[in-house]
Amino acid sequence: MWIVKVSETAAGTPVVEFTPEEHAAYLEREVQAELGMSVAEFTRAYAAGELDDVVPDVDDIVGLLRIGQNGQSAAA
pLDDT digits (tens, 9 = 90+) for 21-63: 888 888 999 999 999 999 999 999 999 999 988 899 999 998 8
36-42: long-range contacts, CB 8 A cutoff, minimum separation 24: 39/65
pTM of structure: 0.69
pLDDT of amino acid 49: 93
- The yes-or-no verdict on residue 70 having pLDDT over 60 is no
Asked whether residue 56 is domain-assigned, the answer is: yes
Check residue 74 and give its pLDDT.
45
Q: Which is more confident, 29 or 75?
A: 29
What per-residue confidence (pLDDT) applies to 18? Answer: 77
- Number of independent structural domains in the chain: 1
What stretches of the chain show up as alpha helix (H) in DSSP? 20-35, 39-47, 56-68
Q: Is residue 27 domain-resident?
A: yes
Which comes out higher in pLDDT, residue 27 or 66?
Answer: 27
The domain of 33 spans 17-68
